Amino acid sequence: MGAIRCTPHGLVIGLREVCPHVAQQVQALRLGPHHQIGQWLLCDACMDARLAPFDGEKTSSFLYGKKTPEQEAAWEAYHDLHPTLDVVCPECTAAAMNGYARHAGLPDPWPSYEHTLTNNEHDYPIVEQLRELVEAFRPWRLSIVDPRYSSCTVQGGAYTHPLEVQCYYVVQTGEQDALVAFVRKFLAGQAKNQGVVRFLDAENWIVKPNGSAHRGPEAVVREVYLNCSAPRP
Query: Model confidence over 60-76: pLDDT tens digits?
Result: 777 777 788 999 999 89
What CATH number matches the domain at 124-226, 3.30.230, 3.30.70, 3.40.190, 1.10.3720?
A: 3.30.70
Q: Are 103 and 179 in contact (CB under 8 A)?
A: no
In the chain, domain spans: 3-103, 124-226
SS3 24: helix
pLDDT of residue 18: 96
Query: Model confidence over 180-226: pLDDT tens digits?
Result: 999 999 999 999 999 999 999 999 999 999 988 899 999 999 999 99
Percent of the chain with pLDDT over 70: 99
Cα 197 to its chain centre, rounded Å, is: 16
pTM: 0.78
**Residue 129 CB partners (closer than 8 Å, separation 6+):** none
